[in-house]
Amino acid sequence: MIKAAVIGATGYTGAELVRILSRHPEVELVALTSRSCAGTPYYQVYPHLYKYIEKECQALDLKSLVAESDVIFTALPHGHSMEIAAEVVKQGKKMVDLGADFRLNSVQQYESWYKVEHQMPDLLPQAVYGLTELNRNKISSSTLVANPGCYPTTALLGLAPLINNKLIDVSSIIIDSKSGVSGAGRKLSLKTHYSEVNENFQAYGVAAHRHTPEIEQELCKLAGEEVTISFTPHLVPMTRGMLSTIYASLTKEMNQEQINSLYQEYYSGEYFIRVLPPGVLPQTKALAGSNFCDLAVTLDSRTGRVIILSAIDNLVKGASGQAVQNMNVMFGLDEKLGLDMVGIYP
């Protein structure tokens, strides 16, 4: 059994990790840490896991926790995973970081966008960007995986087939994304207060969202050239779910059938990527609780642009599910273990 610990277990992504790992046939949960809930039975924080999780939340004793674990998941705000990663590497264990501390290859980029000094720049070359379908081979031999952000997951999976085949103008990419409120985390704030969110629809982080350099960095790797995007996220009054509408101009004349075939071929064999049949479009409700990403691509022949729709559950494929998928790859397990579950509907 793989001994797993979750640091930051009482946030929404931490709770999803605990839910998924509690049913994983090859995992034993050895520790669930929480600053605010230390000493509290976990089911009192998340009652839906009563009789599934009998552990108490505990304070973090980093050295002993790493020593008793095979893999550590960190579900913490940016700036809090660096010292943990250093201890994990020192003890020769594995780690999946669900925060942003190891996603960006450039220290300067990280410090510019996140306004925090990077304490462990020497570890950045060891970190593998954990978008499983695109980096599986590197993930399989890694000890430190930087789990992608939710918005980048939709954007990169949606664009990869076209940009990797140099079929779109990389200066024309516009990404318009919508997310449920759980993406903002569990911490109380006016922004996510019920009265502020309910019956409301708003953009935020316009031309300044921290996922922008992450998307551009990974698109540059796929394209083999510099890529600059326009990215605007929106908050919608639903608990979970994410849908990105992506626009780009084609550099080669293609018809709808060719585009469909491109996506089907590119993601053939990828269990968690569902390229939907013609006439079926992604919707967030079809993905709730699942680790799937649903894709559909429409050719707008009038403008010469493609419109890509990419949808996920932001807490599963956009965070905790993908983290477990990465763990499965790191330990040579079937990627579907613990994750082979259909979404909840309605």
Question: With a threshold of 0.95, does the pTM exceed it?
Answer: yes
Tell me if the domain spanning 2-126 has CATH number 3.40.50.720. Answer: yes
- The residues annotated as belonging to the active site are 150
Residues 345, 288 contacting (CB under 8 angstroms): yes
Distance CA 316, CA 322 (A): 6
Q: Which residue has the tokens 């995973």?
A: 81
Closest to 19 (Cα-Cα) out of 346, 274, 313, 334: 313
* Options 3.40.50.300, 3.30.360.10, 2.40.40.20, 3.40.1520.20; CATH of 151-314: 3.30.360.10
For the chain, how many residues are written?
346
- CA 339 to chain centroid, in Å, comes to 14
Tens of pLDDT along the chain (346 residues)? 999 999 999 999 999 999 999 999 999 999 999 999 999 999 999 999 999 999 999 999 999 999 999 999 999 999 999 999 999 999 999 999 999 999 999 999 999 999 999 999 999 999 999 999 999 999 999 999 999 999 999 999 999 999 999 999 999 999 999 999 999 998 888 889 999 999 999 999 999 999 999 999 999 999 999 999 999 999 999 999 999 999 999 999 999 999 999 999 999 999 999 999 999 999 999 999 999 999 999 999 999 999 999 999 999 999 999 999 999 999 999 999 999 998 889 8
Could you state, in order of their start, the residue ranges of all structural domains in the chain? 2-126, 151-314
